[in-house]
Amino acid sequence: MNAAVYIAVVVFASSSWLCINSVWMELSLLTQTLPEAWTLPSYLDVTIQIACALPLLSGAVRKLFPAITLPFKGPLILVLLIFSALCTLLMALFWNNTAKVFGDEHSVVVITITFFMALVNATSNVLFMPYMAAFHPQYLTAYFVGMGFSALIPSATAIIQGTMEYECVQRDNATHQSKPILEPIYEEPRFSINIYNYVMLAWLCLSIVAFILLHWFTHILLSFHKTAQYRHKSTSSSKTADLNHKTSVRKRDTLNNDASSLENQRHTIMMVCLVVVGSQLNSIVPSIQVFSALPYSLLTYHLALSLSCLVQPIACFVPLWFMPRKLTQIISLTAVTSFTCLIIIILAVQSPTPMLQGSFLGSLISITASIVSHALNCYIRTSIISLVREESADTEKEGRLFWCGVILQGGSLIGALIMFPLVNIAKIFHSVQLCS
């Protein structure tokens, strides 16, 4: 494994969901300025999920017309990266521009740009991931580490910016003078939303450079090889591995129908687990985390959010050394992460007065559940997709990774379709008032 290539893949992959994560991490500032206020997240959520549904059409096209292949993947990925950078630049310049729609003032620019950001980011699941089929399997973990950084970088920048800092200021109640009201007054951030987006733009430019090096300047990084080149090495261990691989291929060609059925069953169960992971990681937990953590304190919410972002790239490293290969292990881990997700849901349903509110133990449960959920989901996602790539024939790797991306995106969409009506229509989750 070449360290330079590993780092380049991480930087390239960090662009995958950077744009959307950067918008979510700025909500505490955007909602103070834009006309939608705290209803802005619901508008953005609908916008993002509509955009995320569009790349799933590529899966339908591929299923109906399997002979169709996507040419020029490298240039297409470069165009998408440049488009992401352009969207981020436009967000930095025009985020506070509004317009009247049906008589009400709305953040048309933010909502429109967010749609195109989400469209590009969602496409990364069905385009970037299959592209990694040309790399050595070890670099697939680097891709998921990079996906973790796409959440960590906006989170760290927002922490430095100071978007969560406020103080409670007393003001008199106009109707009950004897009962003063405390309201949160947010402190000025260390730098503006414009500067924040310029930082994201700079990182996206770095990602573009990393991808150009990976795709067109392989002689510099010295490790972008085709699979066959990895099998033809001069060391005896490589020759032995090659012989074992050929033997396994012969055995696989002679499998009977029962064995093939078991293999298909294993693959199906792993895909079901991937749907569960995608729905929890990308839709369910993010949509209710504010309800499960903020009632304990703003610090609890802040730690749950930032530490969850921190553990994501770390969790993606672990499969390099410890990967669950047995189906029972994958199912057990999925059950554990589903249990932690259930804890988060229970705390969110109990908002604004969850169990053990005001105690250290309550905050600890909320933070721990969030960290474990994000870490395990990232670990399972990386492990399953790495196993799919490893167990696929050379001619099937790209197609299998494509379908993994489609299924992962489908899981996210299912989670969003479940959570959106619960949060915005049924309103079973109730927000807490700061300083109450």
Same domain, 217 and 279: no
What is the domain count for the chain? 2
Amino acid at position 326, single letter: K
Domain membership of residue 388 (yes or no) is: yes
d(CA 224, CA 214): 7
Task: Quickly state the pLDDT bin for 179 (edges 50, 70, 90).
Answer: low
Domain membership of residue 428 (yes or no) is: yes
DSSP one-letter string for 340-382: HHHHHHHHHHHTTS-TTTTSHHHHHHHHHHHHHHHHHHHHHHH
Same domain, 294 and 206: no
247-258: pLDDT as tens digits: 454 555 554 566
d(CA 23, CA 217): 32
Same domain, 206 and 156: yes
Same domain, 212 and 277: no
Same domain, 412 and 367: yes
Domain membership of residue 179 (yes or no) is: no
d(CA 196, CA 398): 36
Same domain, 222 and 268: no
Task: Quickly state the pLDDT bin for 176 (edges 50, 70, 90).
Answer: low
| Neighbouring-strand partners of residue 129 | none
| Neighbouring-strand partners of residue 170 | 182
Of 73-87, 141-155, 191-205, 421-435, minimum mean pLDDT range? 421-435
Give counts: helices (H), strands (E), the chain: 18, 4
The tokens for 32 are 């103070």
Same domain, 154 and 293: no
Same domain, 210 and 347: no
Whether 373 contacts 341, CB under 8 Å: yes
Whether 197 contacts 88, CB under 8 Å: yes
- Where would I find the beta strands (DSSP E) of 195-351? none
Domain span holding position 118:
1-163+191-226
What pTM was estimated for this model as a whole? 0.80
Domain membership of residue 174 (yes or no) is: no
Domain membership of residue 21 (yes or no) is: yes
